[in-house]
Amino acid sequence: MATMQDKTIKTFLPFLFRFFFLVINFMASIEKSNAHIHDVHENMDMVDDMKDYLPFSSYGHGCFDGMEDEGWGMVQRKGNQFVVGGQPFYFNGFNTYWLMIFAVDQSTRRKVTEVFQEALSVGYTVCRTWAFNDGGWRALQKSPSVYDEEVFKALDFVVSEARKYKIRLILSLTNNWEGYGGKAQYVKWGKAAGLNLTSDDDFFSDPTVKGYYKAHVEAILTRVNTYTNITYKDDPTIFAWELMNEPRCLSDPSGDKLQAWIQEMAFHVKSIDPLHLLEIGAEGFYGPSTPERLQLNPNTFAGKVGTDFIRNHRALGIDFASAHIYPDSWISNSITDEHIQFVKTWMQNHIDDSENVLGMPVIFGEFGVSSKDDRFNLTFRDKFITTVCTTQLNSTRSGGSGGGCLLWQLFPEGAEYMDDGYAVVPSRSPSTSSILSLHSRRLQLFNSRCSWRCHWGCRKKSSEDWNHVLPHDEL
Known catalytic residues are 246, 366
CA neighbor of 473 nearest in space, from 389, 360, 408:
389
Q: Rounded to the nearest 5°, which phi and psi values hold at 401?
A: -85, -10
Cβ-based neighbour number of residue 233 at 10 Å: 19
Cβ-based neighbour number of residue 145 at 10 Å: 12
Q: Under DSSP, is residue 69 helix (H, G, I), strand (E, B) or coil?
A: coil
Give dist(CA 89, CA 179) in Å, integer. 32
CB 85 within 8 A of CB 390: no
How far from chain centre, in Å, is Cα 139?
25
User: Whats the size of the chain, residue-wise?
Assistant: 475
Q: Under DSSP, is residue 49 helix (H, G, I), strand (E, B) or coil?
A: helix
CB 365 within 8 A of CB 170: yes
Q: How far apart are the first and last CA of the chain?
A: 77
Question: DSSP class of residue 315?
Answer: S
CA neighbor of 241 nearest in space, from 195, 310, 183, 172:
172
Question: DSSP class of residue 239?
Answer: E
Query: CB neighbours of 436 closer than 8 A, spacing ≥ 6?
Result: 92, 122, 123, 124, 385, 389, 407, 426
Phi-psi group of 249: left, alpha or beta (phi > 0 → left; psi -120 to 50 → alpha; rest → beta): beta
3-state secondary structure 329-377: HHCCCECCHHHHHHHHHHHHHHHHHHHHHHCCCEEEEEECCCCCCECCC
Give dist(CA 344, CA 387) in Å, integer. 7
How far from chain centre, in Å, is Cα 124?
10
Q: Which DSSP string corresponds to 160-214?
A: HHHHHTT-EEEEE--BSSSTTSHHHHHHHHHHHTT----SGGGGGT-HHHHHHHH
Q: Where are the beta strands (DSSP E) in 192-350?
A: 238-242, 277-279, 321-325
Cis, peptide link before residue 392, omega less than 30° from 0: no
Element (H, E) at 93: strand 91-95
